[in-house]
Structure 1
Amino acid sequence: DVQSKVSDVVLGKEKPVEESDAEYEKLKRYIFELENHLAEAQKHAYRLVKRHRELGQSLSDFGKAVKLLGASEGNALGKAFSELGMKSEILSIKLQKEAQELLMSFEEPLKDYVRAVQSIKATIAERANAFRRQCELAETMKLKEINLDKLMLIRSEKVAEAEREYHEAIEGRE
């Protein structure tokens, strides 16, 4: 059994090493799903702010055009067009302010949340790499220990060198 495990390690047939803590795996899945949902919400928030800005700009353009039309008309019709143009421009300004408020109170916080989740994902990746390195070092230690035991049985002249390698590996691990 040990021989097959050693040969699997040497030949690289061993399965990738990952943590198997159920709570940690649950948290990891949650973070990955959360990132997807936040990215989708951020995309929709961006579109909403963009539409508010575009609508505000369109209302502003409409207001200017109607005011010009009112200036070219006379009497009551011209006055009505001018008034409609002014109201459109007022609505345009309100929509632009609302778009800015949406940006600051909705879209920007979503961006911050996405960055926080990405930071958590980077930490998860670093943890996985550290765990993998720890397991690799443990496997290296096992191999050196097996090599030392084997040399003690077969070749006593190479035992000192194997013991030195084993102790160096232990010191390097600490």
Structure 2
Amino acid sequence: DVQSKVSDVVLGKEKPVEESNPEYEKLKQYVFELENHLAEAQKHAYHLVKRHRELGQSLSDFGKAAKLLGACEGQVLGKAFSDLGAKSEVLSAKLQKEAHQLLMSFEEPLKDYVRAVQSIKATIGERANAFRQQCELAETMKLKEINLDKLMLTRSDRVGEAEHEYKEASHSSQAFTRC
């Protein structure tokens, strides 16, 4: 059993090593789903702010056109168009201000949340790599120990060298675990 496991490791047949703590896996799944939902919300927030800006710009253009039309018309109709243009420009300014407030209070915080979740995902990736390296070091230790035991049984003159390799691997494993 041990020999077949060692053979699998040496031949690269072993499956990739990952943590299998159910609580950690649940948290990882939550983070990945949260990123998707936040990205979707950020996309919708962007479009909402964009529409507010476009609507504000359209109202501003309409207001300018109505004022110009008012300047071309007679007194009563001209005044009505001028008033309509002025009201449109006031509404445009309010929409532009609201678009800016939406940007600052809704879209920007969502961007920050997305960046935070991406940072968490990067940390999860680093943790997975560290766990993989730790498992690889443990496998290396097992291989060195098996090699040392085998050399001790055959009373080879290479036992000292194998003991030295085993101690080096042990020190590397301990140093990695402390990090």
State the TM bucket, normalised to the shorter chain: over 0.9
User: C-alpha deviations, 1:132-161, integer Å up to 9, x for none?
Assistant: 000000000000000001111124211111
Q: What CA RMSD, in Å, does the superposition of the two structures yield over aligned residues?
A: 0.6
**CA distance in 1: counterparts of 2:13 and 2:122, whole angstroms:** 27
1:126 is matched with 126
Tell me by how many angstroms 1:75 deviates.
Answer: 1.5
Matched residue type, 2:49: V
User: C-alpha deviations, 1:77-113, integer Å up to 9, x for none?
Assistant: 0010000000000000000000000000000000000
* Runs of 4+ deviating beyond 4 Å: none
The yes-or-no answer on 1:13 pairing with 2:10 is no
The yes-or-no answer on 1:73 pairing with 2:73 is yes
Matched residue type, 2:170: I
**CA distance in 1: counterparts of 2:169 and 2:78, whole angstroms:** 92
**CA distance in 2: counterparts of 1:57 and 1:2, whole angstroms:** 73
1:66-105 equivalence runs, <5 A: 66-105=66-105
Tell me by how many angstroms 1:51 deviates.
Answer: 0.3
1:106 is matched with 106
Could you state the TM-score of these two structures normalised by the residue count of structure 2? Answer: 0.96
Between the two proteins, what is the percent identity of the paired residues? 84
Matched residue type, 2:129: N
Unaligned runs of 5+ in 1: none
Unaligned runs of 5+ in 2: 175-179
1:157 is matched with 157
**CA distance in 2: counterparts of 1:155 and 1:13, whole angstroms:** 31
